[in-house]
Structure 1
Amino acid sequence: MSNTTSGAQGSYTQSILLMCVGVACLSANDAIAKTLTSGYSPLQILFLRNVIALPITIVIALVMGGPSALRSYRPVTHLMRGALWVVATMMFFTSFIYLGLAEATALIFVAPFFIILISSLFLGEEVGWRRWLAVLAGFLGVLVIIHPGAATFQLIALLPVATALVYALLMLSARWVDPRESVWTLLVYLTGAGALLSALIVPFVWVPVRLGDLWLFAAIALFGTAGMTMMTQAFRLAPSVVVAPLDYTALLWATLFGWLIWRESPGAMTFLGAAIIIASGVFNILRDQRQAGS
């Protein structure tokens, strides 16, 4: 085996490990957020998470990208992205109050399909019929999970879907970030913009933080930042076709955390819908990789 092949495999193994641990960290972040929603507004949770995480992200950016990682050439773009992130996170955290963790997690997986939809309808990108079928299958999975028309249907179940739409806009907005800026710059400014924008509104919903909850706010900042950092690094070390499907392991973690903490037991329709969404998403990832290699 050549040194090049051995090095590539080692890089892939490292990226897979980073992605799996990163997804687990973000799932823990979501579980802690759901716990905190019983006593605090989603906006206050988001604000404190960003304030605590900001110095951590600055240190990470300096270590990984050097002083240049703190420079932005288009700060207004980052402010716009921060606004999208605040809206998306608030909606997702709010859904935790009413939905199970696994159900909310499964529904947010439709974000890649919104990206395809927006790219085709508004950005003029060409989307083949196979991709359209995958998009339709993904939204079919959503219908299976929320089963509209059934007696158990809750309108609040659309919140994670709306979150996925705003998250898709956030991902697409990265195209307007100056190409001279690194992913570490995006991480710092997204966290900073989120802290700044949420600070403008949080006084209206603020409640005193209980001393016993301080460690939970610290944990959500640490897990969230660690998860985003590891997942970012995983995509830098290996092709997306290797690491992107591992994002769906979040459903396993969400199911586990939901059962351990709240004794949530997702129904068969949730798992069926999630399986459809995941299968469609993996198809799109493989399709992207095949087209990129052709």
Structure 2
Amino acid sequence: MSRTGIATGPNALRGIVMMCLGMACLAINDAFAKYLTDVYSPVQILFLRNLIALPFAVIIAVRLGGWDAMRTRRPGLHLLRGTLWLAAATLFFTGLRYLGLAEATVLIFAAPVIITGISALFLGETVGWRRWSAVLVGLVGVIVVVRPGGDAFQAASLFPLATAFLYAILMISSRWVPAEESLWTTMVFQVLAAGALAGLASLWFWTPVALSDLWLFIGIALAGTLGMTLITEAFRFSEAAVVAPFDYTALIWATLLGYLIWNETPDAMTWLGAAIIIGSGIFIILREARPG
């Protein structure tokens, strides 16, 4: 145990490594999605991704959570969460068509800031002046990246911002998932609900899948499922305050993949905004982890 009251040691290190690897997998997932959006609609990509991922999600859930992981008492809640996840992912994949991978990823980092604001304004949670200050600082970081009204402003940046908002609501909704249902139950039913909804929506946007693209759909399914599994396991091995800040390593992977595949390089203002958003997010995470 460190002086800050946050657990450290082998389990913490294992959790950190899993979190970093999980974020790398999700960055690969996003890179596959960005590549595929040149040909396929986001909802078709998400349908095929979830269709391929569902058997793997079930196997993982049963192996780690037992057959009880396949039962739920709140199917309506999982349907709602699947709808939120599908809407968020569709908006993000749409944004990837027009934005660099790193730039879109930066704006997703606004989610912890949004969660804090929603919790205080609409859920009646007590948020002190320090966290309110972090929220305001985080919003300044978003403005620095988006640059509304400036020559560098891109309307497409609103897509990942909307994604961050929906993701924040999705995370808050997890509080109403029954305590007896495991994370694996949530994962399976989220994949199932989002996949079914995406399948219906993709009927209006369907493009025949080229055989040469099948490996990309398999890759996005495996990378996304593995990423979420590693992140879930990271939180099992260590406290949230230890591993959650390493969520931001996604920017490293996104920047690297964006440069290697599309020769994308974030500009100085994007890096500045990223530093501000990440700093405020880490402060909120650590502040919420403090006892009392």
Give the alignment's TM-score, normalised by structure 2. 0.96
Q: Distance in 1 between matches of 2:125 and 2:289?
A: 17
The letter of the residue matching 2:49 is R
The letter of the residue matching 2:131 is R
| Partner in structure 2 of residue 4 of structure 1 | none
Q: Distance in 2 between matches of 1:50 and 1:94?
A: 17
| Partner in structure 1 of residue 27 of structure 2 | 27
Q: Structure 1 residue 80: deviation in Å?
A: 0.3
Q: Structure 1 residue 139: deviation in Å?
A: 0.7
Q: Structure 1 residue 175: deviation in Å?
A: 1.4
The letter of the residue matching 2:155 is L
Q: Distance in 2 between matches of 1:199 and 1:258?
A: 29
The letter of the residue matching 1:162 is A
- Alignment coverage as a number of residue pairs: 286
The answer to whether structure 1 residue 178 and structure 2 residue 178 are counterparts is yes
Q: Structure 1 stretches (4+) deviating beyond 4 angstroms? A: none
The answer to whether structure 1 residue 58 and structure 2 residue 94 are counterparts is no
Higher helix share: 1
Q: Distance in 2 between matches of 1:85 and 1:286?
A: 26
Q: Structure 1 residue 14: deviation in Å?
A: 1.2
Q: What secondary structure, in the 3-state scheme, does the structure 1 residue paired with 2:196 have?
A: helix
| Partner in structure 2 of residue 211 of structure 1 | 211
Shift of the 156–255 alpha-carbon distance from structure 1 to 2, 3 Å rule, reads same
Which has the higher mean CA deviation after the structures are superposed, 80-89 or 170-179?
170-179
The answer to whether structure 1 residue 88 and structure 2 residue 103 are counterparts is no
Q: Structure 1 residue 176: deviation in Å?
A: 1.5
| Partner in structure 2 of residue 250 of structure 1 | 250
1:71-220 correspondence runs (5 A): 71-220=71-220
List per-residue Cα deviations over 1:115-154 (Å, max 9, x = no partner).
1111111111111111011001111001001111111211
Q: Distance in 1 between matches of 2:271 and 2:8?
A: 35
Q: Distance in 1 between matches of 2:69 and 2:116?
A: 30
Q: Distance in 1 between matches of 2:195 and 2:51?
A: 6
Structure 1: unaligned runs, 5 residues or longer: 1-6
Percent sequence identity is 57
The letter of the residue matching 1:139 is L
Q: Distance in 1 between matches of 2:269 and 2:151?
A: 14
Q: What secondary structure, in the 3-state scheme, does the structure 2 residue paired with 1:148 have?
A: coil
1:219-258 correspondence runs (5 A): 219-258=219-258
CA RMSD, 1 decimal: 1.0
List per-residue Cα deviations over 1:236-262 (Å, max 9, x = no partner).
110111100100000011100000000
| Partner in structure 1 of residue 42 of structure 2 | 42
| Partner in structure 1 of residue 265 of structure 2 | 265
| Partner in structure 1 of residue 12 of structure 2 | 12
Q: Distance in 1 between matches of 2:148 and 2:115?
A: 24
The letter of the residue matching 2:179 is P
List per-residue Cα deviations over 1:80-120 (Å, max 9, x = no partner).
00000010000000000110000000001001111111111
Give the alignment's TM-score, normalised by structure 1. 0.96
Q: Distance in 2 between matches of 1:113 and 1:127?
A: 12
Q: Distance in 2 between matches of 1:189 and 1:27?
A: 23
Q: Distance in 1 between matches of 2:19 and 2:152?
A: 35
Q: Distance in 1 between matches of 2:259 and 2:140?
A: 26
Q: Structure 1 residue 13: deviation in Å?
A: 1.6
Structure 2: unaligned runs, 5 residues or longer: 1-6
Q: Distance in 1 between matches of 2:258 and 2:221?
A: 20
Q: Distance in 2 between matches of 1:16 and 1:269?
A: 29
Q: What secondary structure, in the 3-state scheme, does the structure 1 residue paired with 2:150 have?
A: coil
Which has the higher mean CA deviation after the structures are superposed, 73-82 or 193-202?
193-202
Q: Structure 1 residue 9: deviation in Å?
A: 1.7
